[in-house]
Amino acid sequence: MSTVFGPKKEKIRAIDGVSFYVCRGEMVGIVGESGCGKSVTSQSIMRLYDEKEEVSYSGTVRFEGENLMEIPYKEMDKIRGNRIAMIFQDALSSLNPVYTVGNQVVEAICIHQNVEKKEAWQKAVEMLMKVGISEPEKRMRQYPHELSGGMRQRVMIAIALCCKPDLLIADEPTTALDVTVQAQIMDLIQQLKEEENMGVILITHDMAVVAENCDRVIVMYLGQMVEEASVTDIFEHPLHPYTVGLIQSIPQMTTDSEQELFMIKGSLPLLTQIKKGCRFASRCPYATDKCREEEPELQKTGENHSVRCHFPRFGE
């Protein structure tokens, strides 16, 4: 799948040939720096952009055998929030501030299920209780600003799961939450994934969250997949220098007060500044002339391990 923004003369390819799969009951993590294309990938799957004005897609997105890119745009409303649901990273801006929590959960149920409002209200209360919100009847009558950050995130999860989707996309669901609340939210997603046998795409920049929760990992850089493997292989046998850098950037527990946090040198270029060759070459400590001249292909290095690099490495 590829996603291109802008008019014909100023096209920007934000997603370039991304291809992966998610199975039922599996959590796949997508990691990388801000601006690498994680959120655009998820929103392209859902076709959330204005297809008349700002975006064009190519390739296919197959969901249970059906190509979502061939479905009429209005028909996607029957899939979004119903069979495929999404949790956005900022719950406060995602929830409507002028409607109560109850109205917003009930609306999601009524849109996709043929039930009366009274029954939808009861289902909403049960869902809030299921996601761990105390006094759900009281919370239903409150507005988003009256809830804590953790509660608002649980409301977003309740809205996403009220129709029992087959695929859940969680776009940095623990951003800006306390560490203890982060753990609770991830435990909740794991629990609901197992109960409903959902597939989950977890988008995050937190490698520690990935290590604890995901089955497989996709590493993205400047709109491309640069590595894909099981979570064990990614952390024990990273092959792409960018993946190695991300793992080395994880803070380590140590008694050394002078330990410096590892940083990948340089910064992420703009999509309009992409040069020929490997997109990571300008920041890679191992780059050669070949890397700067020839763009590497995503190649299999094992049964379930792929990397986009001319000279795959292990560890350092």
pLDDT in tens for each of the 316 residues of the chain?
999 998 766 788 999 999 999 999 999 999 999 889 999 999 999 999 988 878 999 999 999 989 999 999 888 988 998 999 999 888 888 899 999 999 999 999 998 888 889 999 999 999 999 888 989 999 999 999 999 988 998 999 999 988 889 999 999 988 777 888 888 889 989 998 999 999 999 999 888 899 999 999 999 999 999 999 999 999 999 999 999 999 988 777 666 656 677 788 888 888 888 889 999 999 999 999 999 999 999 999 988 899 999 999 865 5
Give per-residue burial for 189-212: e unless 16+ CB within 10 Å, then b. Answer: beebbeebebbbbbbbbbbebbbe
Burial of 93: CB neighbours in 10 Å, binned 0-12, 13-18, 19+: exposed
Domain boundaries defined on the chain: 238-252+259-316
**Residue 9, class by beta-carbon neighbours within 10 Å (0-12 exposed, 13-18 middle, 19+ buried)?**
exposed
